[in-house]
Amino acid sequence: MMKRRAVAAAVAVAATSLALAACSSGGSSSTTTSSGSSSGSGSTSTSGKVTLTWWNNATSGGLESVWNNAIKSFEATHPNITITNVPVESDTLQKTKIPLALQGNNMPNIFQQWGGGSEVSQIPSGKLADLTSLTSSWANAVSGLGGWQVDGKTYGIPYDLHAVGIWYRKDLFQQAGITAPPTTIAALESDDAKLKAKGLVPIAVGSGDNWPDAFWWESFAIRECPQATIQSSISSKSFSDACFGKATTDLQNFLATGPFQKGFLATKAQTGVGSSAGLVATGKAAMELQGDWDPGVMDGLVSSSAATTLNGNLGWFAFPQVPGAAGSQTGSLDGGDGFSCSGSTAQVQACAEFLQYLVSPAIQTQVVTIGNSGLPVVAAAASGLSTGDQAAATQLKDPANELYFDVALPMKPGQNLDTAIANYFTTQSTGNASAILTSPSVP
pLDDT in tens, 215-263: 999 999 999 999 999 999 888 887 888 999 899 999 999 999 999 999 9
Mean pLDDT of the chain: 85
Q: For position 431, what pLDDT does the model report?
A: 52
Higher pLDDT, 4 or 336: 336
Taking residues 260-281, report their average pLDDT.
95
CATH class of domain segment(s) 164-317: alpha beta
Q: Give the predicted TM-score (pTM) of the model.
A: 0.81
Q: Which amino acid is at 94?
A: Q
Q: For position 75, what pLDDT does the model report?
A: 98
Portions of the chain given CATH number 3.40.190.10:
18-163+333-403, 164-317
Q: For position 237, what pLDDT does the model report?
A: 81
Q: For position 194, what pLDDT does the model report?
A: 98
pLDDT above 90 coverage of the chain, percent: 63
- Say if residue 107's pLDDT is above 70: yes
- Say if residue 141's pLDDT is above 80: yes
- Say if residue 15's pLDDT is above 90: no
Residues 161-219 have pLDDT tens digits of 999 999 999 999 999 999 999 999 999 999 999 999 999 999 999 999 989 999 999 99
Q: For position 27, what pLDDT does the model report?
A: 33
Quote the crossing angle between the two packed helices 361-369 and 61-77, to the nearest 10°.
160
Taking residues 371-376, report their average pLDDT.
83
The domain made up of 18-163+333-403 is a member of CATH 3.40.190.10: yes
Taking residues 107-128, report their average pLDDT.
94
Q: For position 139, what pLDDT does the model report?
A: 96
